[in-house]
Amino acid sequence: MPITKTLASLTDNLEFAAYRPRILIVDDQVINIQALNQIFARDHEVFMATSGQSALDFCRKTPPDLILLDVIMPGMDGLEVCTQLKQEELTADIPVLFVTAQNDANEESRALMAGGMDFISKPVNPDVVRARVHTHVTLKLQRDLLKQLVFTDPLTGLANRRNFDQAIDKEWRHCQRNGKSLAVLMIDIDCFKQYNDTYGHLQGDTCLQAVAACLQAGFRRPHDIVARYGGEEFICLMPECELQSAISKAASVLRTITDQAIPHSSTKVSDSNIVTLSIGVAATVPGDQLSIAELIAKADQKLYEAKQAGRNRVGA
C-alpha cells in the first residue's frame, strides 16, 4: 500500500473513526472482566483472559493494542506476565496498564519496573480508565505510524533498505541456527533510464509502483521480504529457500511482469516493447562460505551477468 494511503488510514485510527482498538483484559475474577468490558465494549474490540499463561498465548498469536492486567493472580502473576511480554520482540511494544486492588507505592513501583505504562487502582473510575486507555492506545498507534514511516519506501509501500538490512541480519542468524539456506534475489527494471526519458518521471513512478505491486504479490511466505533497494532496483529475501527454488520463483516473477505488458517503446531488450526485469539469484547456508555482504554481492554479480546476456532473464 502506498505510504500516503497508509498515513491516511492510520490518521483515521488515531481518531478512532474507522478502527476499534483491540484490548485484552486479564483478570482471574470474571466479575472484574465484566466490569471493564462494559466500559470498553462499545468502542473497542475486547478480549479476555483469566490466567497469565492464557494471556501470553493470546498475545503471541494476535497481539492486542493494549493490555489491562491484574497484578495478583494465582500461578503466574501480572508482574511475571508483563516481564515476559517485554522480553519478546513480538509483544514488547504492547502497552500494559496494571489494574489492581493494591494501593501501595511499592507495588506501583514494582509494576512500573516490570514494564507497565500505568497503574490503575480498583475499583476503577470508568471515566479515568477510559481516558488513560485512550491516551496509551493513541500513543501506540503514533509509534506504529512512525515505525512504518522509518521502515517503508514512500513511493512503493515496500520495505526500504534499512528495513531489509535489519531483516537479513535476523534471518541470517535464524537460518544459521537451523542449518537452512538463505536466498537473495536482486532485481532491476531493464532500461529504466530510457523509460523515464520517453514517458517522463511521473509515469516512471507509476511504473515502479506497478512493478512493486507485482513483486509484493509474488512473495507470499510470512518471512519473505521485498524491498526497494534504490532507484529502479529491488531486492528480495527468501529464508529457508534453496537456490533452485529461488531460481524458479525468479522465473515466475519475470513471467508476471511480462504478463502486465507495461508499454516500453524505447527498451533495448530484443523482440520486446514492454517493461521487463533482469534478476540475479544467490543462496547460501549462513556460516558455510559467504558473509551477508558477499551473498548480496554475489546476487548483484548474477544480475550483472543477466543484463550482459541480453536482459529479461535470470542469472544464477
**Active site amino acids:** 232
How many CB atoms are located within 10 Å of the residue 138 CB?
16
CA-CA distances (angstroms) from residue 16 to 13, 135, 149, 216? 5, 12, 20, 29
Chain centroid to CA 176: how far? 22
| Amino acid letter for position 265 | S
Q: How far apart are CA 227 and CA 216, in angstroms?
A: 9
Q: How far apart are CA 135 and CA 141, in angstroms?
A: 10
What does the block give as the cell for 262? Answer: 507495461
The SS3 of residue 178 is helix
Q: How far apart are CA 181 and CA 264, in angstroms?
A: 36
What does the block give as the cell for 276? Answer: 521487463
What does the block give as the cell for 123? Answer: 475499583
Q: What is the DSSP letter of 275?
A: -
Spatial contact of 257 and 269, defined as CB atoms under 8 Å apart: no
